A and B are shown apart, each in its own frame.
Chain A
Amino acid sequence: MISKLKEAVICLKAGKVTLPYPFAAEPVPARYRGRPIFNVERCIGCGGCANNCPAREILLSDVCQEIRIMRYLGQRCTYCGRCADVCPEHAITMSGEFETATNDKRDLQQELEVFMGTCQRCGRCFTAPGPLEQLMMKGYRQDDLPAGRWVYKSRSFLQSEGLPDIEIELD
């Protein structure tokens, strides 16, 4: 009987603890990991985020000699924040957005078109040599953008063979 009284006291002391959530959202803490936001002005297209994403949510593909497309799908993303960790240019920020339910999965996608330099030998995209070399990233990939599929085996290094339409001038 006494224990029941004690339990009643615990309840009374607690008072009302529910929050008026859908009507007024609590501010998120400073380190909160919500939906990642990609900043195209900072992105150098190194592909570090794509290579470190545990859910394979970041695809990249070169559409022509100067433009590399990075697409963030946002469907299976677990907001772990590894992409923001490894980004050398701090182009990715984990925002405070968490109300991301939607009827259209394209609402969550982000796509960046990054202008890249062109390699005079192979004609493929590359950024200024500094950051890429620093990172030692084996960045070059051709993911399947139309199907939204990440390509399992990525080639490690830039390759000149397999591109028959480009002729390399030799002195």
Chain B
Amino acid sequence: MPARNVLNQIKERFEPSILRVDVPSDNRLFLYVTPGVVRDICNHVFRDLDARYVVSIGIDDRPYSGQFTVAHNFGFEREKVLSSILVNLPADDPVIDSISPAVPAANWAEREFRDLLGIEPVGCPSMKRLVLPDGWPEGVHPLRKDFSWDLKPAKFDENKVFAFDDPPEGCVVVPFGPFHPTLDEPAHFRLYVEGEIVRGCEYRGFMVHRGIEKLADTVLTYNEIPMMAERICGICGCVHSVAYAQAVEQAAAIEPPARARFIRTIMLELERLHSHLLWVGLANHILGFDTLFMQSFRMREPIMWLCERITGNRKTYGLCVIGGVRWDITPEIKDDINRILDQLEKEWIAAAKAVQGDRNLQKRTKGVGIADAALVKDLGLIGPIARASGVPQDCRRDFPYAAYDQVDFQVITQAGCDVWSRVLVRVLEVFESIRIIRQCLEKMPAGPIQLQLDDELPPGRIGLSSIEAPRGEAHHFVVTGEENRPRRWRVRAPTYQNLQGIPAMIKDQQLADMTISLGSIDPCFSCTDRLEILDIKSGDVRVYSQQEIVNMTRRV
């Protein structure tokens, strides 16, 4: 019982403060603790028990229990346990001790629940607005249950501008983004530059919020959300739809059929393949080496066509429903997959050799964008960033889901901590993905691909699910609810954590290396910015009013 072992370790020091314990399975642990000890217990879990910080979630539970709830999620990699430390807070005074001083990675998540739910993290080192737009009125919290999903706050101040910190002495401010040639999506970095060297930066993002989480707990139904979830991200869409479905299934104790689990695995790995090929292409493009950019996109295209043949679409697969998948893999498609994988493997061996020996690439990427193991631990960096820093961290092995417990694969690590190591990790992971898909095709059992669900899902249960997306761990948190929809659904996309590491990665580096350092985390801003209602372009040159933008973009 690994979850019990973890529980006993925590109990040794904090037994009197634990109010309630739920251990629904061997690898899930839910601890309800008193508000006073939350920082100590998180510190103990994070530092002494060496758990990995995942995310913090604020929940408005007032219509059901009359309280707010805050959940701090941690992953115990050695024990293969995902756990949630929950605190109930009174409805009239939702105040909690910030855990950011002990767990620096929690900074964004705490600022997010402060913005969206009005739960005040006391002692948080940075209390600036993170998610809400600059002109959003104070004291209006869109994720609270009494805020209607289609409400627009009356006192929206179009002219308000974000207050950036003053630059350090002797530094010049270089604005980078929101619209920039090497950023496909909007985010603003305010770089403090001394000569050619970046001394620091401030980030202001969340410009493409789409209100997805609010929509999910007010309008959509359980089986409509996967179609929405896969539109969170343009590259790892399937990851989000599978992660959501698994979180709900885990909460409601539904076991999808074995064949469905294998099909999920195959699609997730196909997605990793085309994502890594895309990233290698884009990284070369950022570095100005367009030959390999073209070639890796050419090699990627057959994978996209393959996905289209399996699911009916190149990218948005519409794969998951609760309790299974929608598309089966027929013998003809199986032959197709094998043929295309053989072709890709042959071509990628040649490409990988060329990349590994390329001096120009090495000169641009070695020693750039350093993130060492200590930074990875502190800021909760994940995926290829962590693995390129020698931290063997991979949700497919640490918290097995779908059919990953039945296939054999290696976790690729490199020790360089720099962009070059991240290139190598991704280049080599392509071969592991090909291996996984081949094993799945071999071992896939016959049988149904969807479960017939006759009963309503039980309300008020919590589900956690972590999936190793191509960019790192994608984590979904679901509280099941009434009326065929969840009460709360929180998505922690991989870029959410990795982006927090950027200021440390680019510090004291050449300005010209900024783009590849940022590119090396494979940033996906639309994943990170999931859940808002309005967005305005605010910032450097001119502020457009929302009406002006609407008039510009829409023909009435």
Contact = CB atoms under 8 A, between A and B. Distances in A.
Contacts of A53: 224
A10 B312 contact: no
A3 B227 contact: no
Nearest to B150: A152
A81 B318 contact: yes
B13 interface: no
Given A17-B298, A33-B318, A85-B326, A54 B308 contact: no
B295 interface: yes
A11 B298 CA distance: 10
Nearest to B231: A78
Interface in A51-99: 52-54, 78-82, 85, 94
Given A52-B223, A78-B316, A31 B327 contact: yes
B295 A32 contact: no
Given A31-B309, A32-B308, A54-B220, A80 B316 contact: yes
Contacts of B354: 3, 6-7, 10
A85 B219 CA distance: 21
Interface in A7-61: 7, 9-11, 14, 17, 29-33, 52-54
A2 interface: yes
Determine which residue in B305, B312, B356 has the highest number of CB atoms from chain A within 10 A of its CB, and name it: B312
B447 interface: no
B291 interface: yes
Given A29-B308, A32-B308, A7 B291 contact: yes
A105 B294 CA distance: 36
A152 B313 CA distance: 29
A154 B354 CA distance: 60
A22 B356 CA distance: 38
B234 to A, nearest CB: 13
Contact of A82 (B227, B298, B351): B227
A134 to B, nearest CB: 13
B227 A6 contact: no
Contacts of B318: 33, 80-82
B311 interface: yes
Interface residues of A, number: 26
B26 interface: no
A54 B228 contact: yes
Given A11-B291, A31-B309, A81-B312, A6 B228 contact: no
Interface string B347-377: 1001101111111000000000000000000
A7 B290 CA distance: 11
Contacts of A31: 309-312, 327
A80 to B, nearest CB: 5
Contacts of B309: 29-31
B197 interface: no
B292 interface: yes
Contacts of B308: 29, 32
Interface in B300-331: 301, 305, 308-313, 316, 318, 326-327
A33 B312 contact: yes
A78 B327 CA distance: 17
Nearest to B353: A6
Nearest to B289: A7
Contact of A52 (B224, B225, B305, B356): B224
A8 B313 CA distance: 33
Contacts of A32: 308, 312-313
A74 to B, nearest CB: 16
Contacts of B227: 54, 78, 80, 82
Contacts of B220: 54
Contacts of A80: 227, 316, 318
A52 to B, nearest CB: 7
Determine which residue in B223, B227, B301, B351 has the highest number of CB atoms from chain A within 10 A of its CB, and name it: B227
Contact of B298 (A3, A14, A54, A78): A14
B254 to A, nearest CB: 19
B358 A10 contact: no
Contacts of B359: 3
A2 B357 CA distance: 8
A161 to B, nearest CB: 23
A54 B224 contact: yes
Contact of B295 (A11, A30, A152): A11
A33 B298 contact: no
Interface in B210-234: 219-220, 223-225, 227-228, 231
A80 B355 CA distance: 38
Given A80-B316, A152-B219, A14 B228 contact: no
A82 B327 CA distance: 12
Nearest to A30: B309
A128 B223 CA distance: 27
Given A32-B312, A33-B318, A79-B313, A3 B224 contact: no
Contact of A3 (B231, B311, B357): B357
Contacts of B219: 152
B310 A10 contact: no
Nearest to B356: A3
B357 A10 contact: no
Contacts of A4: 358
Interface in B243-292: 291-292
14 contacts: A2-B357, A3-B357, A6-B350, A7-B295, A7-B354, A11-B291, A14-B295, A31-B327, A52-B223, A54-B225, A54-B227, A81-B326, A82-B223, A94-B312
Interface of A: 2-4, 6-7, 9-11, 14, 17, 29-33, 52-54, 78-82, 85, 94, 152
Given A52-B223, A54-B228, 13 more contacts: A3-B358, A4-B358, A10-B351, A11-B291, A14-B295, A29-B308, A30-B309, A33-B313, A53-B224, A80-B227, A81-B312, A81-B326, A82-B224
